[in-house]
Amino acid sequence: MIGTLLLSVLIIAIAVALLCVKVIARKNGRFSSQHVHDNPALRKLGIHCVIDQDREERAN
C-alpha cells in the first residue's frame, strides 16, 4: 500500500513538473489563456463564451 502511494505521488510530481517546463524554463514564462474569447480559431468560427451567448440571447 505504501509503495502504491509513493508511486502515485511520484507520477503526479512528474506530471506537474512536465506541465510547468514552459513556466520554469522561460524568464517571464506563464501559461497561455484557456478562455474561449482568447482563442483566435474559435473566434473565426464564431464560437463565443457561454456568458456572451447568454447576453446576446437575452438582448434578443
> Global pTM?
0.46
Q: What is the pLDDT of residue 40?
A: 85
Q: What is the pLDDT of residue 30?
A: 72
Please state the domain count of the chain.
Answer: 1
| Cα–Cα distance for residue pair 56/54, rounded to 1 Å | 5
What tens digit of pLDDT does each residue of 2-60 get? Answer: 999 999 999 999 999 888 887 777 777 777 777 887 888 888 888 888 888 888 889 98
Instruction: For residue 46, give its domain range.
Output: 2-59
**Among 48, 44, 22, 23, CA closest to 35:** 48
